[in-house]
């Protein structure tokens, strides 16, 4: 099972000073900062996925790339821009969620192929249009007109896309995009894409679906799927079901979930092979608007807050070296938590679980080995992204360990 990481210009600075929370004055981001595949070995994914909408923008406005970054990507190509090592593939797509509210996709086939070929992608996904909704028992004849039209739009673009790839000398591997609202409609889309000549098909629009609904679609698809057809799940991470997904023809998927959970989830911030732990929040006192308001209102003294913040970090680092106890650290964290926002529910029980388990001590990834307890401290982008990169490595290792088991019928 191959894992692709969707790019959003996420990097970490190898020279960041965690003790003083500051960057090197000589740092040049694009030159000095590193992608996940440059700080972890082996790379924590099999490939990267880059969307045209992220690079070039779409109906919603400019993408996440600055003009110099965009020009550099086109000039260097995706492999050199991302400094990809051998074995890490590149996959392009259109970023359909960026134009989900439009009647039609905002790109032409030639524009998309120019992007894929101009950047030197290994493979590219055909233009598609996401369908709003899931109704497993609704036939084509009874479906909402917008659903049937979006599915037909995706198929028409797929046919033109494949013809464009062939006419240009097949410089990329074409990946057809299948959309649907039910197991039957997804299966029909896959069948029609296969009839066109696609051997690799991406299943889009499944992000909102429950796992049993995804499995129902895959089971229907499997009835029409040719033995050599490979399926890619767009935006799906369901680790506990990946073995069954693989048995039903899924060979790859992409997701940002493990990365984003490092700093967007309320509890599951640090991943291990058999569970997750909450990161320990020591918020920067000078970067917290709510805390600033409390200080300005006189509810809390700024000097007291600063001292409590420093004490938390001091005790955490002493704990990492064996010079402080769990109880001492928790006491410091509880005091700072009370000062920052006494109205919120305490996180101390979760912190206790993390500190007692010390998961960063047993992790062999380069980031945990280098940063120690800093990687489980929820505080600023460098720690949070480093923890996110660690999570990617955990997911990648789990995916590579998947054993594809035969179905009951096959046995």
One of 7, 93, 128, 188 is an active-site residue; which one? Answer: 93
The answer to whether 48 and 7 are in contact (CB under 8 A) is: yes
Rounded Cα–Cα distance for residues 250 and 404 (Å): 11
Rounded Cα–Cα distance for residues 315 and 331 (Å): 10
Rounded Cα–Cα distance for residues 48 and 70 (Å): 17
Residues 6+ apart with CB under 8 A from 237: 253, 255, 257, 258, 395
The answer to whether 52 and 126 are in contact (CB under 8 A) is: no
- Count of Cβ atoms closer than 10 Å to residue 70 Cβ: 17
HEC assignment per residue over 151-168: HHHHHHHHHHHHHHHHHC
Rounded Cα–Cα distance for residues 391 and 219 (Å): 30
Alpha-helical runs (H) found in 123-210? 145-167, 183-196
Q: Is 254 a known active-site residue?
A: yes
One of 10, 46, 254, 320 is an active-site residue; which one? Answer: 254
Q: Is 101 a known active-site residue?
A: no
Q: Indicate the angle between helix axes 289-297 and 326-340, nearest 10 degrees.
A: 70
Residue 97 CA: distances (Å) to CA of 49, 106, 128, 129, 345: 14, 12, 10, 8, 35
CA 159 and chain centroid, separation: 29
Per-residue tokens: 335: 């005091």
The residues that are catalytic are 93, 254
């Amino acid at each position: 099972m191959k894992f692709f990481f969707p790019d959003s210009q996420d990097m970490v600075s190898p020279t960041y000073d965690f003790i003083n929370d500051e960057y090197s004055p000589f740092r040049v981001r694009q030159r000095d900062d590193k992608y996940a595949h440059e700080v972890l070995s082996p790379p924590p994914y099999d490939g990267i996925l880059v969307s045209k909408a992220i690079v070039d923008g779409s109906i919603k406005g400019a993408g996440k790339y600055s003009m110099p970054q965009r020009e550099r990507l086109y000039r260097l190509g995706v492999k050199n821009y991302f400094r990809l090592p051998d074995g890490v593939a590149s996959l392009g797509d259109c970023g359909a969620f960026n134009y989900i509210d439009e009647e039609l996709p905002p790109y032409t086939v030639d524009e998309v192929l120019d992007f894929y070929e101009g950047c030197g992608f290994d493979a590219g996904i055909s233009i598609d249009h996401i369908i709003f909704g899931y109704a497993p028992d609704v036939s084509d004849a009874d479906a909402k007109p917008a659903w049937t039209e979006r599915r037909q739009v995706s198929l028409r673009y797929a046919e033109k896309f494949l013809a464009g790839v062939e006419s240009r000398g097949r410089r990329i591997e074409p990946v057809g995009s299948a959309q649907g609202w039910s197991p039957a409609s997804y299966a029909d889309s896959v069948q029609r894409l296969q009839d066109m000549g696609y051997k690799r098909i991406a299943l889009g629009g499944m992000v909102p679906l429950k796992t049993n609904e995804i499995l129902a679609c895959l089971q229907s698809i499997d009835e029409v799927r040719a033995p050599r057809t490979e399926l890619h799940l767009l935006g799906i991470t369901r680790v506990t079901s990946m073995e069954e997904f693989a048995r039903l023809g899924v060979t790859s998927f992409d997701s940002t979930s493990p990365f984003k959970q490092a700093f967007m989830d309320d509890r599951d911030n640090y991943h291990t092979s058999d569970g997750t732990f909450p990161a320990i929040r020591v918020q920067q006192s000078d970067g917290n608007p709510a805390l600033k308001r409390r200080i300005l209102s006189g509810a809390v003294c700024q000097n007291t807050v600063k001292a409590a913040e420093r004490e938390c970090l001091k005790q955490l680092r002493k704990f990492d070296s064996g010079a402080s106890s769990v109880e001492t650290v928790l006491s410091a964290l509880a005091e700072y938590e009370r000062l920052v926002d006494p109205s919120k529910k305490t996180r101390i029980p979760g912190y206790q679980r993390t500190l007692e388990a010390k998961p960063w001590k047993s992790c062999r990834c380069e980031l945990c080995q280098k940063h120690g307890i800093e990687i489980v401290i929820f505080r600023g982008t460098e720690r949070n992204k480093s923890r996110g990169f660690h999570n990617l490595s955990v997911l990648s290792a789990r995916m590579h360990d998947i054993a594809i088991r035969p179905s009951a019928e096959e046995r």
